[in-house]
Amino acid sequence: MNLKRRNAAVLATTFLAASAVTGIAPSAQAAEQACTYQAAYLPVPEGIESGSVTATGGAGVYAGEVQFPGDDSLEHAVLWTDGRLTDLGPAAGADFDLYVSDVNSAGTVVGHGAKITGVVEGFPNWTWFPVRSRDGKLEQLPVPAGSHDVQTRVVAENGDIYGDGYGADPNYREVYKWPADQPGTVVKPAGFPKGSKVEGVDTDGTVAVTVEDAPRGTWRPYLWKNGTARQLPIPAGAAHAQVTGISNGNVIGDALTADFARSAVVWNKDGRAAALPNGQGTTAINSQGLILGSNKRLVASLWQLTASAGAAPADGVLSTLGDDGSLAGAKARPGASYPRFPAVWRCG
């Protein structure tokens, strides 16, 4: 992470973002793995300083970001399809920073860039704006009039894109959709609870959200489909819960006590919540029910739904996993601990 990216991350962090596990670091205390993972580096553009995979689509489809040397260089979005590299370049119109949030099996990459809007006491103010890939590069997506800090979160298999941002009320996020069958347009889908932050989309179009009520200090898990939202139950002993992903009807997230102690949970297809054994946080789930997260010692760990599947690989930083069981993130090259470069781990 370069200095600009680090400063942006620090300034932009909220409690909820800080509590989520995104990119799990290795640990010497890792438990025995369920299988032997072998890491392989993905091809990268020449001259990069570092990079990481941040999203997976279908088998062999990955997306992420790479950084080039220099304080003024912009991160590039990168797409890998069956080992082939496509450098999508920076977010057009960005002053700094780029985040790749998702990719589908067709290779549509979505994310958001940052535009500086002013400086206060030496620190920049900025707003996020949404981008997607088209014809080998990133393009800005439209945003509703009066909205700001709009971020894409997910892209469905049919190409629909969902994200969220702020409109007239600065205390509550609202959901936006960029329909695949109406290119160049953006809509506000009906039925999302006030304060919804998009966390995932399933193959049947179900959108998982965390409803954040900042004034009240509450977090609630919801599922939305075809204009109707329903709340998932708060796990026993918890005061709040947030969603972190959804796949094949199963939803993962984190339960929070009144003191904000965190534990990992999964809601099954019937909406029943269950704790992940020794789990503290969740990061990703695939269609087979494999879950990536962290245990109580913050060691990268795996579960098969509610059953422990052992430790995750400890030789890199893991960000996501694919439907084929592969894990993805970043790994330092031999003989070094940093910087790290895009890598995929497969069970051997």
pLDDT at 3 over 50: no
Q: Which of 50-54, 91-95, 275-279, 338-342 has the lowest mean pLDDT?
A: 91-95
Question: How large is the C-alpha radius of gyration of the chain?
Answer: 19
CB distance 98 to 115 below 8 Å:
no
Residue pLDDT, tens place only, 82-129: 999 999 999 989 998 999 999 999 999 999 999 998 888 888 888 999
Residue 8 pLDDT exceeds 80 = no
Residue 237 φ/ψ region, left for φ over 0, alpha for ψ in the -120 to 50 degree band, beta for the rest: left
Structure tokens at 51: 């990079």
205 within 8 A of 226, measured Cβ to Cβ: yes
For residue 9, name the pLDDT band (cuts at 50, 70, 90).
very low
pTM of structure: 0.90
- Residue 274 is encoded by which pair of tokens? 């269950």
Q: Which amino acid appears at position 262 of this protein?
A: R
Mean of the pLDDT values across residues 303-329?
96
Q: Is the pLDDT of residue 26 over 70?
A: no
Question: Which residue in 215, 131, 132 sits closest to 173, CA to CA?
Answer: 215
| pLDDT, tens digit (0-9, with 9 covering 90-100), for 161-209 | 999 999 999 999 999 999 999 999 999 999 999 999 999 999 999 999 9
Confidence of residue 1 (pLDDT cuts 50, 70, 90): very low
Q: Which two tokens stand for residue 224?
A: 């939305």
Residue pair 302/288 in contact (Cβ under 8 Å)? The answer is: no
Burial track 290-329 (b if 16+ CB lie within 10 A, e otherwise)? bbbbbbeeebbbbbebeebbebbbbebbbbbbbbbbbbbb
